[in-house]
Amino acid sequence: MVNLETTFAGLRLKNPLVAASSGLTNSVKKIKELENAGIGAIVLKSLFEEQIENHSEKLSQIADYPEAADYINTYIEMNHMEKYLDLIRSAKKECDIPIVASINCYKLSRWVEFAKTIQDAGADAIELNLFVLNAGELGDTYLEDSYVNIVRELRKIIRIPVVIKMAKNISNLPGLVGKLKALGAGGVVLFNRFYQLDIDIKNLEITSGPVFSNPSDFSDTLRWTAIVSGRVPDFDIACSYGVHSWEDSVKGILAGAGAIQLCSLLYEQGLDVIEDTLMCMEEWMLQSNYERIDDFKGKLNYGNIKDSALYERVQFMKYFSSYK
């Protein structure tokens, strides 16, 4: 008999699968369905700061996929604070699994204000969905400083775990995660996936790119999960971005994640994939003689494999030399 229980950011999860913040987690009905389907925890759709509304208005004009528009605009408009707090309260009342709220803000004072109210509404943790695109006009360390300052301020007044959903383009990811840990963050999610754009070469217009990730996106997630897990020991990581199979979930845990966030997979395959994934993970654990998640969590992380340089290989020259 295997046990899929795990912990993430101080929360006990009956299994490592977490529904990532998206349109699938924006109502109690959907959240309840996810719980019934076997999910271990839920991250609610983000509550966006007003400022994004302005950004999103511009962006939504070029988004031709309904979910993309939803991602950047529709929900933002509807999602006023009171409604969000109601969602937290109702989700907590209806569900037994951990409910993580998600906030997206730009101004430090707003983050603190939002987080406090969300804590009071009963959320089990807060996930910070933070990213500012630096198109050249912000300082070199603007993004990194924002993560640090926000976590520092939040930890002064927030008791519940604060989880940071990281952007990919951080110059020294393990260094920054180490700082966030030292400041009292509860864990990190590697990574967030942002709105993707494209260029329409017929009409010479900017359009929206793919809304969902694809399996090849997972390699980067795996690499950084393993490196951060090895470099920043005893700190909770949730794998996200590109998880498209039960094998990916097992790989994420081997790389050091304690939880696995699912989004595109749930959209594309429906909620039955949760039970299938859990069954396959259990079967794999049985066959590999692992009784608990902790028995193999991080077994192949950067600190635990013999040749950690394997995670640092980025050039093709040796490995694809057969491709002339």
Ligand X SMILES: Cc1cc2nc3c(=O)[nH]c(=O)nc-3n(C[C@H](O)[C@H](O)[C@H](O)COP(=O)(O)O)c2cc1C
- From candidates 154, 253, 262, 293, binder to ligand X by CB under 6 A: 262
Between 2 and 65, CB nearer to ligand X: 65
Residue 32 CB, nearest distance to ligand X (Å)?
Answer: 19
> Phi then psi for 126, rounded to 5 degrees?
-125, 130
Name the one range near ligand X by CB under 6 A: 33-41, 53-61, 259-267, 281-289.
Answer: 259-267
Amino acid at position 141, single letter: T
Residues 111-150 touching ligand X, rule: CB under 6 A, are: 129
C-alpha closest to that of 220 among 198, 177, 181, 251? 251
Question: Does 241 help bind ligand X (rule: CB under 6 A)?
Answer: yes
Between 119 and 192, CB nearer to ligand X: 192
3-class secondary structure, 205: strand
Residue 321 CB, nearest distance to ligand X (Å)?
Answer: 31
Distance between CA atoms of residues 125 and 303, nearest Å = 28
* Burial group, residue 272, by CB count within 10 angstroms (0-12, 13-18, 19+): exposed
* Burial group, residue 163, by CB count within 10 angstroms (0-12, 13-18, 19+): buried
Residue 69 CB, nearest distance to ligand X (Å)?
Answer: 9
Residues 184-213 touching ligand X, rule: CB under 6 A, are: 192-193, 211-213
Between 160 and 262, CB nearer to ligand X: 262
- From candidates 16, 186, 187, 242, binder to ligand X by CB under 6 A: 242
Helix (H) or strand (E) holding 247, with range, is helix 246-255
Question: Does 264 help bind ligand X (rule: CB under 6 A)?
Answer: yes
- Identify whether the C-beta of residue 84 lies closer than 8 Å to the C-beta of residue 47: yes
Residues 2-61 touching ligand X, rule: CB under 6 A, are: 20-23, 45-46
User: Is beta strand 187-190 parallel, antiparallel or unpaired with respect to 197-200?
Assistant: unpaired
Name the one range near ligand X by CB under 6 A: 53-61, 65-73, 134-142, 145-153.
Answer: 65-73
Question: Does 251 help bind ligand X (rule: CB under 6 A)?
Answer: no
C-alpha closest to that of 130 among 23, 46, 25, 203? 46
Question: Does 263 help bind ligand X (rule: CB under 6 A)?
Answer: yes
Judged by CB under 6 A, how many residues of this single chain contact ligand X? 25
Between 105 and 262, CB nearer to ligand X: 262
Between 5 and 67, CB nearer to ligand X: 67
**Which residues are 19's β-sheet partners?**
42, 262
Distance between CA atoms of residues 21 and 128, nearest Å = 11
Question: Does 67 help bind ligand X (rule: CB under 6 A)?
Answer: yes
Residue 318 CB, nearest distance to ligand X (Å)?
Answer: 29
Task: Tokens 């949730």: give the residue.
Answer: 238
Between 154 and 290, CB nearer to ligand X: 154
Helix (H) or strand (E) holding 198, with range, is strand 197-200
3-class secondary structure, 317: coil
Residues near ligand X (CB under 6 A) are: 20-23, 45-46, 67, 70-71, 102, 129, 165, 192-193, 211-213, 240-243, 262-265
